Amino acid sequence: MGRYDLALIGFGGVNRALAELISQRGDRLADELGFALRVVAITDLRAGSLVDTDGIDLAPLLAAEPGELAFAGLPGGSADPRNEWVIREVPADVVVEATFTNPEDGEPALSHMRWALAAGKHVCTTNKGPVALACRELKQVAERHGVSFEFEGSVLSGTPILRTAERMFGGLEITGVQGIMNGTSNYILGRLEEGVELPEAIAQAQELGYAEADPTADIEGHDVQLKVMILANEVLGADLRREDVVCEGISKITPDYAQDAVSKGLRWKLVGSATRRADGTVDARVAPVALPGHHPLAGISGPVNAVAFHTDLLGTVTVSGPGAGRIETAYALLSDVIAIHQRHHAHDDTAPARRVLQETSRG
Ligand code: HSE
């Protein structure tokens, strides 16, 4: 059976959840998928770095409280994250990038991805920043080095929006996409409809773990703006920058507005959309829209997300599911490795070149 050796860059909620999946159901996954998964390196801003080319024992790491994890002192461990060295030098098949999203310039994740692809390693990521800002470049680097760049989790976590668009709509034209792509704002809009004021609704979303500690990107639409860029560029072949996507959040919606809309059969939703214009260019925006009850996105409530694809042959096709969550987002990374496996092949343990690399790294 083949195997993929993973280097996990960032060991916050998502990569930790991926490690849990591998640790808890690795054998079952191997039976089903026909390849094994092994973690050979982990780096983290706070915990440092840990490398074992024979496979890291994940159980003790997962037993520790996340805030208490420290790799210094462990065999192969260091207090220094050593990201560049780990990404470039440690023999791994796949670099799994799950550090924080930087919407300004995508760094440091963008550099992590460039280093990994240039070193001939596949990259999987849930990090919206580099995907929104530099997807085209990263795909080209991947292509040049014969590896894959996969990023399903950058939009709607594990709900397969990008792969649905890429693989399931052959032979038809997607003319536009519209989505509810932020669970926090959708949950908050529901609370406003019940008469709850915005600050209280935000606090409730934070208590439930939907909103970020700083919920600005959720409320003001910046999180959705990046997702719209990714969808417009991937699904409609656009090449949009952030400033091309008009962005307005939900902070001006009051409980009165929300309740008034409901009384008229409408529901306020934060809608991200990208639509092909007659001249072939793409109009992309994020804005609160009062949707009529019959609209496919009007019934999407709470933290649930959905994307409606408008097509020429099928009309509107809507995919709905979770848009966030540790395990849900980790599943996106697993689905990326499966996609890599479908395109390439898991490495063969007995390949001489790899054995040499492994000996070198141990030395
Ligand atoms: N805070 C985001 C949401 C998480 O509420 O949907 C995913 O980007």
Helix (H), strand (E) at residue 259? helix 255-263
Whether residue 91 is predicted with pLDDT greater than 90 in this model: the reply is: yes
Beta carbons within 8 Å of 243's beta carbon, 6+ residues apart: none
Question: Is 161-322 a domain of CATH 2.60.40.3880?
Answer: no
Helix (H) or strand (E) holding 102: none
pLDDT at residue 363 tops 60: no
User: Rounded to an integer, what distance in angstroms lies between the CA atom of residue 162 and that of residue 155?
Assistant: 7
Instruction: Determine the pLDDT at residue 222.
Output: 96
CA of 320 from ligand 1 middle (Å) equals 15
Express each pLDDT in 2-42 by its tens digit.
999 999 999 999 999 999 999 999 999 999 999 999 999 99
Three-state SS string across 288-349, please? Answer: EEEEECCCCCCCCCCCCEEEEEEECCCEEEEEEECCCCHHHHHHHHHHHHHHHHHHCCCECC
**pTM listed for this prediction:** 0.93
Name the closest-CA residue to atom 2, ligand 1.
182
Per residue in 101-120, pLDDT (tens digit) is 999 999 999 999 999 999 99
Is the beta carbon of 182 within 6 A of some atom in ligand 1?
yes
Q: State the pLDDT at residue 348.
A: 62
Rounded alpha-carbon distances, angstroms, from residue 248 to 85, 167, 253, 270: 41, 31, 11, 9
Q: Ligand 1, residue 227: give the atom nearest the CA.
A: 8
Domain segments of the chain as ranges: 2-157+326-362, 161-322
Compute the average pLDDT of residues 118-140: 98
Residue 352: is its pLDDT beyond 50?
no
Contacts of 27 (CB under 8 A, 6+ apart): none
Q: How many CB atoms are located within 10 Å of the residue 259 CB?
A: 13
User: 227 an active-site residue?
Assistant: yes
* Tens digits of residue pLDDT in 249-285: 999 999 999 999 999 999 999 999 999 999 999 999 9
Strands 35-44, 2-9: pairing kind: parallel
Q: Does residue 73 have a pLDDT over 60?
A: yes
2-157+326-362: what CATH class? alpha beta
Mean pLDDT of 328-351: 86
C-beta of 325 in contact with ligand 1 (< 6 A): no
- Substitution candidate for ligand 1 out of 184, 191, 305 with most atoms within 8 A of CB: 184
H helices within 98-235, ranges in order? 109-118, 128-144, 161-167, 183-193, 198-207, 216-219, 222-235
Pair 215, 202: CB distance under 8 Å = yes
Q: Over range 149-165, report the average pLDDT.
A: 97
- Taking only the tens place, the pLDDT of each residue in 219-251 is 999 999 999 999 999 999 999 999 999 999 999
Say if residue 349's pLDDT is above 70: no
Cβ 218 under 6 angstroms from ligand 1: yes
- At 66, is the pLDDT very low, low, confident or very high (cuts 50, 70, 90)? confident
Both tokens of 338, joined, read 């499966």
Cis peptide before 352 (omega within 30 of 0): no
273 touches 236 (CB < 8 A):
no
Q: Which of 271, 276, 181 is nearest to 223 (CA)?
A: 181
The secondary structure of 77-97 as a DSSP string is EESS--HHHHHHHS--SEEEE
Residue 321: its pLDDT value, please? Answer: 97
Q: Is there an atom of ligand 1 within 6 Å of 324 CB? A: yes
In percent, how much of the chain has pLDDT > 90? 91
How far is the C-alpha of 198 from the C-alpha of 218, rounded, in Å? 13
Spatial distance between the Cα atoms of 95 and 92, rounded to a whole number of angstroms = 7
